């Protein structure tokens, strides 16, 4: 199966990828060119450890249409120095730094650091509130705590948020949507056994859906099991379009508009 040509679809945005990971070492110009050829002309590369921020920032600075976000991944909380709100606020001054995270809770592999993860999540929420940038959430096997902490923070002071690579329960999905948050669709939605997840997305408002790869992980069908890359957002867009009974063109346009509404700093930078 070949990727659609850029001229055949409106812009698609990969709202979450990891271009600094070793999987892409030495290949970034080709990876980004391939994404553009598939219609993926903007992407957000995510810094998951604060000491990697200079490398992630340099990638964004070097490539048109590439933006970045900074946070401390919940699975790294136990081994990394604690993040501070001021650090995140300082990073956010860069014109291409457009989001806070990824942060969140992961009790599947790292439940032993649950308390430290909760503290880190709350600090990221505070940074999102202070900067006005959207929070980028990783959630796995922690639905109850996640819903509670996100809601507590929102009641204290509203903020914007996307549930990245959403694959949690329908209950957490509804809790996030009730707060006005967004759900991001990854390649997982294309997997044959992901019907329950597809049902969650299909029941969500179209104006709350984003697209992402989480590359180099979670390549969509027909590349499942191989290294993922931003160009493959086009395959997930095809699955998403079918869920909403839309053409790929209309679904791509809708999710790009959603991205612009949430990641306002990326939209403003592109328009400048």
pLDDT tens-digit series, residues 108-123: 999 999 999 999 999 9
Q: Tokens 């949430």 identify what position?
A: 262
Q: Six-digit token pair at 192?
A: 């044959």
Q: Comparing 46-50, 218-222, 260-264, 266-270, which segment has the lowest mean pLDDT?
A: 266-270
pLDDT band of 79, cuts 50, 70, 90: very high
Domain spanning 10-271, CATH architecture:
Alpha-Beta Barrel (3.20)
Q: Comparing 10-14, 33-37, 139-143, which segment has the lowest mean pLDDT?
A: 10-14
Answer with the residue of higher pLDDT: 85 or 6: 85
pLDDT band of 267, cuts 50, 70, 90: confident
Q: Give the global pTM.
A: 0.94
* pLDDT over 80 (residue 54): yes
Distance (Å, whole) CA 92 – CA 94:
5
pLDDT score recorded for residue 9: 58
């Amino acid at each position: 199966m070949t990727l659609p040509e850029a001229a055949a679809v409106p812009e698609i945005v990969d709202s979450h990828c990891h271009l600094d990971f070793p999987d892409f070492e030495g290949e970034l110009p080709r990876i980004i060119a391939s994404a553009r050829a598939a219609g993926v002309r903007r992407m957000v590369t995510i810094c998951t450890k604060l000491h990697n921020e200079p490398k992630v920032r340099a990638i964004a600075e070097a490539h048109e249409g590439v933006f970045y976000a900074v946070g401390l991944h919940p699975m790294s909380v136990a081994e990394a120095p604690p993040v501070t709100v001021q650090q995140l606020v300082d990073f956010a001054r860069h014109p291409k730094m457009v989001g806070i995270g990824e942060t969140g809770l992961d009790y599947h592999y790292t439940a032993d650091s649950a308390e430290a993860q909760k503290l880190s999540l709350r600090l990221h929420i505070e940074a999102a509130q202070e900067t006005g940038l959207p929070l980028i959430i990783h959630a796995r096997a922690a639905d109850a705590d996640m819903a509670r902490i996100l809601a507590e923070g929102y009641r204290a002071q509203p903020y914007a948020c996307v549930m990245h690579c959403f694959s949690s329960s329908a209950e957490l999905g509804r809790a996030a949507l009730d707060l006005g948050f967004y759900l991001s669709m990854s390649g997982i939605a294309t997997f044959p056994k992901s019907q329950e997840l597809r049902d969650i997305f299909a029941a969500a408002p179209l104006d709350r859906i984003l697209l992402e790869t989480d590359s180099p992980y979670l390549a969509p069908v027909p590349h499942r099991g191989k290294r993922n890359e931003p160009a493959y957002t086009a395959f997930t867009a095809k699955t998403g379009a079918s869920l909403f009974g839309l053409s790929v063109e209309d679904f791509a346009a809708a999710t790009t508009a959603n991205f612009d509404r949430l990641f306002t700093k990326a939209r403003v930078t592109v328009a400048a």
